[in-house]
């Protein structure tokens, strides 16, 4: 058979070859450090954009902060007076998550309850803040509130209904993990990052220890993403960079009995012991706030437990005699400089750091930190946009439209 190249002059053959399509290239490889909700969502987003993804987690997935939060799908109302950027993020993601993860939420709504005249004086500011953040509200009087929630303090002044919801803390992230794995992501549990490998000022991958197999090895990567939540500062230090994460712990208490069917919040600036929400046959009460140096060793102070129960009992008096089923603490990955602000004064917004833009640049290393369980998908979208921009990949985010697999698919190996 005569080749097409035999029909052209030797001098033209080079041009002919240069015009031929290039050989297919392997997709870029991204390593994600952290097996919480944010890491799961980032893995899901990136595989949909055609990247090769490996996620490493030193324990089991969701075993850190993700598996310890109280299970609130925020409407954003909690931050409407104090942190409106976070409120806007929450209500937007609230709507998306209900659409892409049907069946994961108890869509029970929430009540913000004014117990005192001082609380009631905040009504106008609260409603105005919610309106500015596009959080739907319905102001209801005392009698109506008690019909909705008979266990409320009968001395309440008024209440405002908002579209909060409750969820199992682990099942939503498992849907992201299951879908990411189905689409090709590799999820490595009990695999701890011991070093970030570099060549000059460029990251080349990670060194890991497989605790299950008892072996050490390296994983090469085009980009490494630090999605370690409150541990993000420790992980960043492995790459020689600094991330302004201020780990802030809070105590939660679960009591036996379903003492409310809606999410019940105190209508005031966020404080200790001002929220109660139903979780199946229990009620979860929260929370407190204090800075910690080591996210691996958060205490559960007895006085915090007592204070949380006492304060939430002002909302739901029957809690005073309820049996405590469990108490625990979780550490929030808040953005800020440790010691310069209290946890309550720090924003719940998230930030994505491209460390190639630092004063001492490190190419190929990206951190996502801050945020809330409600905003995990949005955090992943911003991170994936940064990563794809660095890799020259022009493919839009699809996660707001892709229905996630059920959480049980994670266990179907």
Q: Rounded distance, CA 80 to CA 78, Å? A: 6
Domain limit, last residue, from 280, 312, 335: 335
Q: Tell me the three state secondary structure of residue 2.
A: coil
Among 40-49, 68-77, 340-349, 391-400, the least confident range? 340-349
Q: What is the CA radius of gyration of the chain?
A: 24
Answer yes or no: do 299 and 189 share one domain.
Answer: no
Say what percent of the chain tops pLDDT 70: 91
Let me know if residue 361 belongs to a domain: yes
Please tell me whether residues 357 and 232 are part of one structural domain: yes
Tokens describing residue 294: 């080591």
Domain of residue 265, CATH code = 3.30.9.10
Instruction: Summarize pLDDT for 368-407 with one digit per residue, the tens.
Output: 999 999 999 999 999 999 999 999 999 999 999 999 999 9
Domains held by the chain: number: 2
Q: Clarify whether residues 184 and 320 are in a common domain.
A: no
Question: Residue 361 corresponds to which tokens in the numbers above?
Answer: 């640049």
8 lies in some domain: no
13 belongs to a structural domain? no
Regarding beta strands 72-73 and 165-167, do their DSSP bridges make them parallel or antiparallel, or are they unpaired? Answer: antiparallel
Task: Please compute the mean of the pLDDT values over residues 74-94 and round it to a whole number.
Answer: 95
Last residue in a domain, options 300, 335, 370: 335
Are 194 and 206 in a shared domain? Answer: yes
| pLDDT beyond 90 at 7 | no
Question: Tens digits of per-residue pLDDT, 214-272?
Answer: 999 999 999 999 999 999 999 999 999 999 998 999 999 999 999 999 999 999 988 89
Q: Residue 24: pLDDT above 80?
A: no
> Considering the entire predicted model, what is its pTM?
0.91
Domain assignment present for residue 88? The answer is no
80 in any annotated domain: no
The DSSP result for 317-340, as a single string, is GGGGGPPEEEEEEEEEEEES-TTT
Range of the domain at 174: 27-71+168-244+336-413
């Amino acid at each position: 058979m005569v080749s097409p190249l035999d029909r052209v002059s030797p001098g033209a053959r080079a041009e002919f070859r240069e015009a031929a399509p290039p050989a297919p290239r392997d997709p870029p490889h991204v390593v994600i450090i952290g097996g919480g909700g944010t890491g799961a969502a980032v893995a899901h987003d990136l595989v949909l954009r055609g990247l090769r993804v490996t996620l490493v987690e030193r324990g089991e997935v969701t075993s850190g902060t993700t598996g310890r939060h109280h299970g609130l799908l925020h409407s954003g109302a909690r931050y409407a007076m104090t942190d409106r950027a976070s409120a806007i993020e929450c209500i937007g993601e609230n709507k998306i998550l209900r659409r892409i993860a049907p069946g994961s939420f108890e869509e029970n709504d929430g009540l913000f309850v004014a117990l005192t005249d001082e609380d009631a004086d905040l009504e106008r500011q609260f409603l105005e803040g919610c309106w500015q953040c596009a959080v739907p509200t319905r102001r209801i009087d005392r009698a109506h509130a008690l019909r909705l929630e008979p266990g409320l303090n009968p001395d309440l002044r008024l209440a405002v209904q908002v579209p909060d919801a409750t969820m199992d803390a682990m099942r939503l992230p498992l849907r992201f993990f299951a879908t990411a794995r189905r689409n090709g992501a590799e999820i490595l549990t009990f695999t701890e990052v011991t070093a970030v490998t570099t060549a000059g000022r460029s990251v080349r991958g990670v060194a890991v220890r497989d605790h299950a197999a008892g072996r050490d090895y390296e994983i090469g990567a085009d980009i490494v993403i630090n999605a370690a939540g409150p541990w993000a500062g420790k992980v960043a230090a492995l790459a020689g960079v600094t991330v302004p994460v201020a780990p802030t712990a809070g105590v939660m208490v679960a009591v036996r009995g379903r003492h409310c069917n809606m999410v019940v919040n105190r209508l005031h600036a966020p404080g200790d012991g001002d929220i109660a929400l139903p979780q199946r046959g229990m009620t979860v009460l929260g929370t407190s706030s204090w800075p910690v140096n080591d996210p691996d060793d958060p205490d559960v102070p007895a006085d915090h437990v007592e204070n949380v129960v006492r304060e939430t009992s002002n909302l739901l008096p029957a809690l005073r005699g309820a049996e405590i089923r469990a108490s625990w603490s979780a550490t929030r990955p808040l953005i800020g400089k440790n010691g310069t602000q209290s946890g309550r004064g720090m924003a719940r917004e998230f930030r994505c750091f491209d460390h190639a833009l630092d004063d001492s640049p490190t190419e190929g290393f990206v951190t996502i930190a801050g945020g809330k369980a409600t905003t995990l998908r949005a955090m992943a979208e911003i991170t994936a946009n940064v990563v794809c921009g660095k890799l020259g990949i022009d493919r839009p985010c699809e996660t707001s439209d892709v229905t996630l697999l059920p959480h049980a698919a994670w266990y179907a190996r």
